[in-house]
Amino acid sequence: MNKTLSTLVICGSALTASCAHMDSMDGQASVTESVKVNAPAAEVWALVGEFNDLNRWHPAVKLSKQVSDRRYLTLQDGAEIVEEETSRDNSGMNYSYRILSGPLPVEAYNATISVTSMGDSQSKVTWQSTFDAKGMSRPEAEAVISGVYRGGLDQLQRMY
């Protein structure tokens, strides 16, 4: 596994619980991870909902630069991921995007990040995607993406 993938996987916590969310059948991969956050949904959305602010809450992302509907993420090891926002619903607190290029073992990757209220002082952040594995087995690719999500979601939980 190259340095970028190792860095992203290390950012995630143990994958044993998150593997339960992964589909194990053949076909397109699907990963869903969630976390409860001790903050109101509107407050969490103000951070998570900004497409160009992934570097503010995900430890693997060093820099984010947005040009139109695309963001250019520079990872801690210098690798770059280019993503394009495909939909946004600020009132529903969610946005979707796709990866155009980068070191992750995926293709046809589409993801959605959403925030839902769990009362006045708690919210739930969900990050889900579908994709095809590229360069490794489907379970391996799912584990990498799950680790990426856990790294960011666990950091969000620590921030609040």
pLDDT of residue 26: 57
Distance CA 28, CA 146 (A): 15
Tens of pLDDT along 68-106? 999 999 999 999 999 999 999 999 999 999 999 999 999
Q: Is the pLDDT of residue 3 over 90?
A: no
What domains can you pick out in the chain, each with its CATH number? 3-159 (3.30.530.20)
pLDDT, average across residues 113-132:
97
Taking residues 121-149, what's their average pLDDT? Answer: 97
Q: Which two tokens stand for residue 141?
A: 């690719």
Q: Who's near 71: CB < 8 A, 6+ residues apart?
A: 51, 52, 54, 64, 65, 82, 83, 85, 97
